[in-house]
Structure 1
């Protein structure tokens, strides 16, 4: 008891220290200082130089026109234009500073070059794509888009297992890691020391000592307050090759906003895992933070694991810039398993990058909504909708599709839940049903018409859809889809409460006001 109390105090202190040093805090302090300077500047200029004020206003107007003509989302444009009205000089300077950084351009080019160089290793099997075309023309066209623009082919010869909790997945993951003979690749957003990580680390250290190629990538900001300083060096000393994605630097940089939110585990090229859970005790309910923590994941065995393998290797060569390219054939599923898995539908594991012009995560969700006939069930911890997504949800419900969304009943971020409530009235008025989970629902998944499903890392918010590196798995006519649907039905019946327009209208006025105010800065949340 005393040890747990001491651990909580240390965690709290570390979090406070890191929060004070984060980019968000630096920006807030810089903004405050800038406001003071601008206040004195404008007062002085208004007395002595009307011409200077007009020049500043003209510059802000030209910048606003430029922003309006960029190819970014309308909500992203408003995120710049609204504060620019109040603080023209500061926002003009910060916009061009963040839009023209060498570090951001360098990472964008490096990632694009790696994807282009490895494109030939992600070729589409013709028999598979033609078999999909015979099953469903619309899904075939979606798969063609994913291959041509996202770079990932659809596969047969794969089997999928669905996990309805982090606890279920963790036990299977440990067993699969114990079987590794050649390599283990892990890419994770959050890593926190605790019982879960201690058990996994013991396996990884032992496998590395046995000669297994163990590689590990974790995000440099998400895990910063949770791990000791230079923890990646300690892991390397244990034989676990470790790289940190975009290590946090307390400088204003746009690339710091693009985090690696992906969760990938690949074992010997034949077994892969992905889903919403990270490596921390709350994900398997060893500790309680926001009530019961609901998360989901899938395990893939067979040919479809290749997409996950290549995702990892592409990112590895971005973060390990001294790494050599090539030799990818030795990581293919066939290199370590001669017999093939029997086909269970079609599986397409994919990644979404914020550094290109394809919003793959959003378009996949929109495709499922647009082709749904009977139902579309959705689970997301965060609900901050673009106009396109809001319109698609409403249109699906209005044309008779049973659209249901599960959000957390106990949020991990109060302001995100408050902003999410902004959309509830409009959604429910269109026929979309909203459910609150009895605890914290962290699962990110869609299921539709007993034929299509997505399980992965992609939330229904701006950060996941436009700013972070993400990944997910699209399933078509896979047996596991019935398990995903059954999990949804169980949550609706036993673990959720449905919101009604009447009851929702009774919420306090301050929540309505807070949601409206947060709507102004929704792209930043």
Structure 2
């Protein structure tokens, strides 16, 4: 971006940060000042902090998440109590929850349009089918048969196919991304989008305001409208007014005519396609879906769009009869060689950590191996236990994390989890060429998942995420091969790499305590 474009964005970020800091300081000073002159208020703050601790003990959140808040509130009653009410309390999400729940209720029939292949998958493999059933029951997304899948081991590999598919769009193009930044990748994609919009193709775009805070101007929605592109800024950052900073839209996908979709870890920024170097070589992954499974992603987009835009979109306008027939035909294909796909959404609003539970279930059901790509490793005790238990019963469990970090504190926190995992038999590799941003898991040549879910508290509990479960599809072997190929460029971590001083251990312990806030 040009300097005259970046100045207002930087100014906006500074203003937001200052207003947020001033708000917190003002709240603390006000209460502290009143406490000095009012013993009753002191008693009330103490009672309130105790009630919050009891409330946290009663909640069904991650034990580590609750423990961190309990310690903060107990040690610093005024700051901890006010900070929890400001940043940790999920009550401000009530309006967002109601909006999205209303869409689910209103479009329940539309969500069940495509024939569900769940029973067929259960007949093929009851254990793997039980994972699909859990996602079907709690995320409300069906298992779909008859889709082609292409796997891309890096961001630059998608560009030729993506531009060709965008150029071929005839009806609509839907996009949803966490990070969007001006540059070569942006120009290639949005030049096509602007042209297609001028030709009458319906182009709609959801982007996360926080993810794009320093990247897109405040009036970006209006700018897009001039080109005929309808844009929606998700959860706008409004200091003092908004209390839901942590609830971000981390999903990433492009849907073309409801027939083709791209989804995975890649955002729209030049480092993702390695035309700009940040933290060495940027390794990511993406899949191209063609067929019935794109309907699940279309549902996700329409639900969020309708929840936060006044002009609702009719689901039936985007239901393709040809795709419907293809789904029915695939369901009757007893010699199904294309396997099954289940794109799903993980929401922070339902109290169900679907992403984390899927990781645990894949580990629990593994018979030979489990390989995991993750840029961050800030996990719960339950997920840590699932990894080590799988390794202890003879499963080849391997984790790959970045060799060059994008956030040094999170990298140190990630490494603090290495020792207990390695002691349990988990093999850990660091990708030496650069930053590993891929988020995927593959097991036993029969199940894989590619998506946006990081193994950290934000992704697992606070963000809107999406991923695609892939069952018995030929592409599963391709994902496994990519892990093994990346492993040849990685360093296997050994105990000698993890030596720490006493001070280092204290720092790691504190970082683990702060993990839910990072």
Q: TM-score, normalization: structure 2?
A: 0.92
CA-based RMSD of the aligned residues comes to 2.5
Q: Within 2, Cα distance between the matches of 1:310 and 1:285?
A: 31
Of stretches 26-35 and 134-143 in structure 1, the one that deviates more from structure 2 is: 26-35
* Counterpart check, 1:456 vs 2:443: no
Question: Is contact 2:117-2:143 (8 Å) kept?
Answer: yes
Q: 2:196 aligns with which of 207, 212, 226?
A: 207
Q: 1:474 aligns with which of 444, 469, 473?
A: 469
Q: 1:355 aligns with which of 349, 352, 372?
A: 349
Deviation at 1:373, TM superposition (A): 1.1
Q: Within 2, Cα distance between the matches of 1:460 and 1:440?
A: 15
Q: 2:513 aligns with which of 491, 502, 520?
A: 520
Alignment coverage as a number of residue pairs: 510
Q: 1:234 aligns with which of 220, 223, 236?
A: 223
SS in structure 2 of the partner of residue 247 of structure 1: coil
Question: Is contact 1:420-1:515 (8 Å) kept?
Answer: no
* Counterpart check, 1:274 vs 2:263: yes
Query: Which string of whole-angstrom CA distances, capped at 9 and with x for unpartnered residues, describes residues 151-199 of structure 1?
Result: 1000101111000000011221111101101110101111000011011
Q: Within 1, Cα distance between the matches of 2:152 and 2:311?
A: 34
Deviation at 1:60, TM superposition (A): 2.0
Q: Within 2, Cα distance between the matches of 1:350 and 1:130?
A: 18
* Counterpart check, 1:392 vs 2:392: no
Question: Is contact 1:296-1:444 (8 Å) kept?
Answer: yes
Unaligned runs of 5+ in 2: 331-335
Partner of 2:102: 113
SS in structure 2 of the partner of residue 485 of structure 1: helix
Deviation at 1:77, TM superposition (A): 1.4
Q: 1:236 to 1:307 in 2, by over 3 A?
A: same
Q: 1:499 to 1:69 in 2, by over 3 A?
A: same
Deviation at 1:308, TM superposition (A): 0.5
Question: Is contact 1:124-1:154 (8 Å) kept?
Answer: no
Query: Which string of whole-angstrom CA distances, capped at 9 and with x for unpartnered residues, describes residues 116-136 of structure 1?
Result: 222222228667223212210
Deviation at 1:448, TM superposition (A): 0.4
Report matched runs for 1:161-240 at 5 Å.
Answer: 161-240=150-229
Partner of 1:332: 319
Deviation at 1:319, TM superposition (A): 2.3
Q: Within 1, Cα distance between the matches of 2:312 and 2:187?
A: 31
Deviation at 1:255, TM superposition (A): 2.0
Q: 1:254 aligns with which of 240, 243, 249?
A: 243
Deviation at 1:28, TM superposition (A): 4.4
Partner of 2:69: 80
SS in structure 1 of the partner of residue 117 of structure 2: helix
Q: Within 2, Cα distance between the matches of 1:264 and 1:444?
A: 14
Q: 1:446 aligns with which of 420, 441, 450?
A: 441
Q: Within 1, Cα distance between the matches of 2:165 and 2:95?
A: 37
* Counterpart check, 1:153 vs 2:142: yes
Q: 1:238 to 1:511 in 2, by over 3 A?
A: farther
Question: Is contact 2:8-2:217 (8 Å) kept?
Answer: no
